[in-house]
């Protein structure tokens, strides 16, 4: 049954309709990515600051800057990161919604919230509107990031699940890139360029909203809600074959087990749920401790720090954005062939070396006061950042979302995945909030700080992360957790008992 090699575990054929569903759902990633990319740029625009944060603007004008302490301002960082706090709480609500009303409706709600967020922030006349807008964006991101990766993992045939799920991350990276390009142009449009930047967020929201009338509900979600007939019809439609009995029966039996669990969150706290939960949370925490968002949010500031002019710095940020997109494609091609672990481990080596060398160059050549780096050195730093982003983009970026969406049994899947989403949001918030202050205080040492975390996550992946390539999503307990050297000790009761324990 296709556990080895690249054989499908169950019958399936690619259908155009399926491909369309994947792409539409992945627009949820575009909403998330666009926001990651847009906020830093908008908060750097003087017109925006003058309108909503006049004191910050004043201080920016008169600030005594040193090379490592450019725009360090907590209030402004809070504007960027507040969205992640809203998303953190929203992901738990989304978990319940995904179970009760399904993945498709949760995706539709996410798109509506995102459109509302774009309207409120782009049309913002005071801080209250702006904050409400950010909260709508945040809830939209929380809903979308919970529902979309689950949707993709559930509709994909198991032998292509990695690639299909990574479409989400691919669209995240495209969103970041588009936002960087948009900011580049709108920053020159006075006085309302920032409004345009924020308004464009409605485009992926609208695309997702319209698309949500085209996509199907996942068979898992239908069967979970006892719509067996419909579940089977949809399964035939998305698999492109008539003989889906084996897969259907397997989802039904997973769902019967799941039905017995009345309190998924309580069940998650049981010993036997710990392995996927620990993996899900740590993958997301580590993903943020690679330091990626220090680059994604603040690349232009960082590149100015090393001595590039304003335009060159923005342009370099566009280049790293492009590298991010292209390298994610590499992950799509490789993840179901070489597996998850190889990608994660290789990238740790690549990211460790680049972060350490960047740290060393800055430590030696960039003092707080006085000259910035020479032009040649600044180019080397940009190149190293590109190699670093490459590593992230084919490993911890996509796999931080993929693995948690595919490793929980059905009874705890939405609840467990909510922990992954909220851990992502919490640590994105912390890094967004703290990075500029950390850069200001730790100076070049901040790169060694991230490099040290990369060693820790490498060891974690080496010893604790099981390979999930090609394993059908509802057979993870038997084929993965019960077989793993460390995690099997948590799983020594049989599946049935585990379900009973969670009632
Ligand atoms: C992460 C984001 C990050 C992005 C960069 C995503 O997987 O969750 O925090 O900004 O990748 O491409």
Which residue, by CA, sits nearest to atom 4 of ligand 1? 397
Q: What is the pLDDT of residue 3?
A: 40
- pLDDT tens column, 291-309: 998 888 777 777 877 878 8
Which residue, by CA, sits nearest to atom 6 of ligand 1? 397
Ligand 1 touching residue 428 (CB < 6 A): yes
Ligand 1 touching residue 173 (CB < 6 A): yes
- For residue 397, which atom of ligand 1 is closest to its CA? 7
Q: Residue 242: exposed, middle, or buried by beta-carbon count in 10 A (0-12, 13-18, 19+)?
A: exposed
Q: What is the pLDDT of residue 64?
A: 61
Q: What is the pLDDT of residue 275?
A: 97
Higher-pLDDT residue of 463 and 308 is 463
Using a pLDDT cut of 70, give the percent of the chain over it. 95
The CA 102 to ligand 1 mean position distance, Å, reads 25
Note the pTM of the prediction, 2 decimals. Answer: 0.93
The chain-wide mean pLDDT, for the chain, equals: 90
Q: What is the pLDDT of residue 71?
A: 61
Average pLDDT on 441-452 reads: 94
Residue 335 CA from chain centroid, whole number: 17
Confidence of residue 63 (pLDDT cuts 50, 70, 90): low
Average pLDDT on 448-469 reads: 98
Which residue, by CA, sits nearest to atom 10 of ligand 1? 293
Which residue, by CA, sits nearest to atom 12 of ligand 1? 173
Higher-pLDDT residue of 494 and 226 is 226
The CA 216 to ligand 1 mean position distance, Å, reads 27
Ligand 1 touching residue 87 (CB < 6 A): no
Residue 4: pLDDT over 50: no
- For residue 324, which atom of ligand 1 is closest to its CA? 12
Q: What is the pLDDT of residue 500?
A: 47
The CA 40 to ligand 1 mean position distance, Å, reads 14
- pLDDT tens column, 379-408: 899 999 999 999 999 999 999 999 999 999
Tokens of 265: 């969150």
- pLDDT tens column, 103-161: 999 999 999 999 999 999 999 999 889 989 999 999 999 999 999 999 999 999 989 99
Which residue, by CA, sits nearest to atom 11 of ligand 1? 397
- pLDDT tens column, 427-442: 998 987 888 788 888 9
Q: Residue 339: exposed, middle, or buried by beta-carbon count in 10 A (0-12, 13-18, 19+)?
A: middle
Q: What is the pLDDT of residue 502?
A: 47
Tokens of 416: 């467990």
Ligand 1 touching residue 145 (CB < 6 A): no
The CA 14 to ligand 1 mean position distance, Å, reads 29
Residue 70: pLDDT over 70: no
Contacts of 355 (CB under 8 A, 6+ apart): 291, 388, 447, 448, 450, 451, 454
Ligand 1 touching residue 293 (CB < 6 A): yes
Residue 72: pLDDT over 70: no
Ligand 1 touching residue 275 (CB < 6 A): no
Best residue for ligand 1 mutational test, from 34, 36, 173, 393 (most atoms within 8 Å of Cβ): 36
Confidence of residue 466 (pLDDT cuts 50, 70, 90): very high
The CA 28 to ligand 1 mean position distance, Å, reads 13
- pLDDT tens column, 180-239: 999 989 999 999 999 999 999 999 999 999 999 999 999 999 999 999 999 999 999 999
Residue 503: pLDDT over 60: no
- pLDDT tens column, 251-303: 999 999 898 998 999 999 999 999 999 999 999 999 999 999 888 877 777 78
Q: What is the pLDDT of residue 69?
A: 75
- Please tell me the distance from the alpha carbon of residue 260 to that of residue 499, in angstroms, as a whole number: 7
Given a contact cutoff of 8 angstroms between Cβ atoms, the answer to whether 39 and 297 are in contact is yes
């Amino acid at each position: 049954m296709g556990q080895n090699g690249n054989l499908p575990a169950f019958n399936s054929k690619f259908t155009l309709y399926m491909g369309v569903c994947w792409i539409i759902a992945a627009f949820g990633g575009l909403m998330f990515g666009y926001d990651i990319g847009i906020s830093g740029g908008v908060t750097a625009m003087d017109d925006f600051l003058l309108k909503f944060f006049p004191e910050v603007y004043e201080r920016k004008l008169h600030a005594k800057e040193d090379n490592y302490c450019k725009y360090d301002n907590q209030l402004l960082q809070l504007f960027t990161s507040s969205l992640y706090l809203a998303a953190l709480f929203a992901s738990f609500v989304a978990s319940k919604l995904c179970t009760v009303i399904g993945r498709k409706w949760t995706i539709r709600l996410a798109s509506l919230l995102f459109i509302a967020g774009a309207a409120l922030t782009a049309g913002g006349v005071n801080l209250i509107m702006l904050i409400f807008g950010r909260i709508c964006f945040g809830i939209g991101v929380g809903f979308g990031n919970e529902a979309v990766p689950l949707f993709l993992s559930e509709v994909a045939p198991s032998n292509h699940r990695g690639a299909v799920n990574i479409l989400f991350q691919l669209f995240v990276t495209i969103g970041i890139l588009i936002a960087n390009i948009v900011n580049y142009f709108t920053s020159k449009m006075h006085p309302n360029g920032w409004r345009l930047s924020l308004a464009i967020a409605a485009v992926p929201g609208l695309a997702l909203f319209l698309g949500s009338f085209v996509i199907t509900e996942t068979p898992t979600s239908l069967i979970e809600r006892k719509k067996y007939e419909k579940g089977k019809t949809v399964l035939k439609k998305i698999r492109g074959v008539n003989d889906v009995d084996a897969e259907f029966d397997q989802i039904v039996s997973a769902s019967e087990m799941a039905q017995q669990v009345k309190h998924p969150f309580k069940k998650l706290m049981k010993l036997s749920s710990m392995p996927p939960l620990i993996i899900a949370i740590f993958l997301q925490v580590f993903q943020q401790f690679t330091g990626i968002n220090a680059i994604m949010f603040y690349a232009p500031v960082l590149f100015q720090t090393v001595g590039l002019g304003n335009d060159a710095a923005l342009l370099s940020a566009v280049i790293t954005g492009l590298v991010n997109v292209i390298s994610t494609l590499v992950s799509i091609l490789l993840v179901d062939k070489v597996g998850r672990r190889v990608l994660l481990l290789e990238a740790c080596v690549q990211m460790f070396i680049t972060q350490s060398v960047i740290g060393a160059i800055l430590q030696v050549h960039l003092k707080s006061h006085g000259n910035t780096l020479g032009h040649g050195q600044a180019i080397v730093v940009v190149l190293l950042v590109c190699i670093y982003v490459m590593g992230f983009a084919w490993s911890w970026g996509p796999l931080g979302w993929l693995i948690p969406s595919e490793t929980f049994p059905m009874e705890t899947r939405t609840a467990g995945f909510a922990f992954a989403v909220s851990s992502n949001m919490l640590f994105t918030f912390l890094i967004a909030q703290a990075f500029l202050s950390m850069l200001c205080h730790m100076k070049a040492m901040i790169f060694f700080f991230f490099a040290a975390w990369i060693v820790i996550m490498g060891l974690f992946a080496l010893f604790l992360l099981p390979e999930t390539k090609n394993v059908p999503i509802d057979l993870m307990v038997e084929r993965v957790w019960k077989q793993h050297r460390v995690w099997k000790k948590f799983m020594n009761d049989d599946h049935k008992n585990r379900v009973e324990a969670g009632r």
